[in-house]
Amino acid sequence: MPDSPERRSHQHRETKETTVDLVLDVDGSGQASASTGIPFFDHMLEQLGKHGGFDLKIEAQGDLEIDLHHTIEDVGIVLGTALTEALGDKAGVRRFASALVPLDEALVQVALDLSGRPFLVYEVDPVSEWIGTFDPQLTEEFWRAFAFAAGINLHLRSLSGRNGHHVIEASFKGVARSLRDAVKIEGTGIPSTKGNL
């Protein structure tokens, strides 16, 4: 069997509001580091890499003195763009995946499709107003930016939870586990009757 092409991407995005550098290796070992100036967000991005089995390095500088929104959204865009590039034509990928992830009292359901047709259904109660310096409402903005840049149909629902940290962390772990399954190579053809994703 021939060697599989490397599924990696290096992205750089610079705007008046943010600068983001990101390296992604889909077939990595879960080595992840993030430095965005938002500690809780860094922790979540590292969970995404670790539980997704991706090697992921993210460095971002943004106008945090104004708001966290630009940095969080732009990291989502860059990560989604990197995943699109790393997966190429998606030949042989499993494509669909789902996960049900508990974290103490929190339970989050995730389902996704590497369809090439982006959509986000986000029914996650952020519970907390703030987690450290992180605004939980911006989690939805991150997933929307990621899903649309990556061309993913992504559904997240919190089924239970009282602690905002637990709910959001379970959502990141759920997406990570689902991505880990969806990007697995289990064939050779494009998994679509259309012939492309």
* CA 124/CA 109 separation, integer angstroms: 9
What is the separation of C-alpha 153 from the centre of its chain, rounded to a whole number of angstroms?
12
The residues spanned by each domain of the chain are: 8-182
> In this predicted structure, what is the pLDDT of residue 37?
98
This prediction has a pTM of: 0.96
The two three-digit tokens of residue 5, written as one number? 């092409």
**CATH of 8-182 given 3.10.580.10, 3.20.20.70, 3.90.850.10, 3.30.230.40:** 3.30.230.40
Q: How far is CA 32 from CA 3, 11, 13, 95, 154, in A?
A: 25, 16, 19, 23, 22
pLDDT, tens digit (0-9, with 9 covering 90-100), for 149-165: 999 999 999 999 999 99
> In this predicted structure, what is the pLDDT of residue 100?
98
Q: Which residues of the chain have pLDDT under 70?
A: 1-4
> In this predicted structure, what is the pLDDT of residue 4?
64
* CA 196/CA 116 separation, integer angstroms: 9
> In this predicted structure, what is the pLDDT of residue 127?
87
